[in-house]
Amino acid sequence: MMPAPMNNPLIDGMMNRLRSDPMLSKNPLAQNLFTCLQSGDSKKGEEIAMNLCKTYGITPEEACKQAMQFFTRR
């Protein structure tokens, strides 16, 4: 059974910012991640996040740090 979608203002704000980026709106991987976030599918979201970390050669901790910097500077 799929978990209920998240109702988190922080996640909603991030999603709105990401959706407004034209490059991300055309990116199939980003769209897949948006679907995971909206549906609350944390297992699939974690799988995508780990694959991105491997692709970019960074740790999950560094990815979280970079994401926080990205979203707090805007």
Residue, of 8 and 54, whose pLDDT is higher: 54
Is position 46 within any domain? yes
The residue type found at 70 is F
Is 3 contained in some domain? no
Question: Which residue's entry shows tokens 């988190």?
Answer: 8
Q: What is the pTM of this model?
A: 0.59
pLDDT over threshold 80, residue 45: yes
Domain extent at residue 54: 28-74
First CA to last CA across the chain, in angstroms?
A: 36
Average pLDDT over residues 59-67: 92
What letter does residue 26 receive in the DSSP assignment? T
CB 26 within 8 A of CB 15: no
- What total of structural domains would you count in the chain? 1
The answer as to whether 36 is a domain residue is yes
E-state strands within 1-74? none
Residue 8 maps to a domain: no
